[in-house]
């Protein structure tokens, strides 16, 4: 094993800079960290699962979706969490009556309708980028107040699930060869996304990979 290099800690100095501050009136740019998207059970600090206390799901674990977004300038990740359910309230004429995850999906270009299916995979895609303001949530007992993305202020500027933001053209033969080469050895689509994010053509390759996955040219 290589010998650990030692330095004179008494001679070390560093520059003092002002800590990060986020202005609630400013728009920031956020990019989805697709690899970090998860559906998981809620747990307490002691590791025990949070379960429903009543109703038809009494005793079953409570699940949450987590969508991490990287603020591009500071490189700080902000996470949006939503409760998982087998039904969500949809009421476009009265948005205040809709579930928060439904409001979020609409900001990404999704259009859920009453009696239709609500599919997370239809609007959570690699490459989603948007601008939004932050808002401060009140502190809970024993915790500090913290800032989170203000869903109401989201404006999509990158690849979205539908509409004019999405590229629907067929990837070129060269792009398909590059994607297939990157996908070699990947067991999950998220692994391919990680490799694509390290390339110089991240945006083009993410769109191409999504098209190839949807048309069955990429299988995991």
pLDDT band per the 50, 70, 90 thresholds, residue 16: confident
Work out the burial of residue 22: count CB atoms within 10 Å of its CB; fewer than 13 is exposed, 13-18 middle, 19 or more buried: middle
Is residue 11 in some structural domain? no
Question: Which domain-ending residue is among 131, 147, 162?
Answer: 162
Q: For 139-175, what is each residue's pLDDT tens digit?
A: 776 566 679 999 999 999 865 554 333 444 678 899 9
Owning domain of residue 193? 167-220
For residues 142 and 191, membership in a common domain is answered with: no
Cβ contact 56:50 at 8 Å:
no
For residues 220 and 146, membership in a common domain is answered with: no
Global confidence as pTM: 0.67
For residues 102 and 128, membership in a common domain is answered with: yes
Is residue 18 in some structural domain? no
Cβ contact 54:62 at 8 Å:
no
Check residue 143 and report its DSSP letter: S
Cβ contact 151:107 at 8 Å:
yes
Give the Cα separation of 30 and 70 in Å (integer): 5
Give the Cα separation of 62 and 50 in Å (integer): 6
Is residue 16 in some structural domain? no
Domain count, the chain: 2
Please calculate the CA angle 118-134-20 and round it to the nearest 5 degrees: 135
Is residue 9 in some structural domain? no
For residues 142 and 171, membership in a common domain is answered with: no
């Amino acid at each position: 094993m290589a010998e650990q290099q030692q330095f004179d800690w008494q001679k070390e100095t560093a520059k003092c800079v002002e800590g990060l501050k986020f202005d609630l009136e400013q728009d920031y740019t956020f990019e989805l960290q697709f690899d970090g998207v998860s559906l998981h059970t809620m747990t307490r600090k002691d590791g025990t699962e949070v379960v429903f206390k009543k109703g038809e799901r009494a005793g079953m674990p409570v699940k949450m979706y987590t969508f991490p977004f990287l603020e591009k300038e500071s490189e700080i990740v902000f996470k949006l969490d939503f409760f998982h359910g087998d039904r969500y309230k949809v009421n476009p004429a009265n948005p205040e009556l809709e579930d928060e995850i439904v409001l979020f999906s609409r900001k990404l270009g999704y259009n859920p309708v009453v009696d239709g299916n609500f599919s997370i995979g239809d609007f959570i895609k690699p490459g989603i980028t948007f601008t939004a303001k932050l808002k401060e949530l009140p502190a809970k007992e024993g915790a500090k107040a913290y800032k989170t993305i203000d869903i109401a202020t989201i404006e999509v500027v990158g690849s979205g699930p539908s509409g004019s933001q999405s590229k629907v053209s067929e990837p070129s033969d060269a792009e398909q060869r590059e994607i297939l080469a990157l996908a070699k050895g990947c067991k999950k689509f998220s692994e391919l996304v990680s490799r694509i994010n390290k390339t110089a053509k991240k945006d083009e390759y993410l769109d191409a990979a999504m098209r190839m996955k949807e048309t069955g040219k990429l299988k995991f």
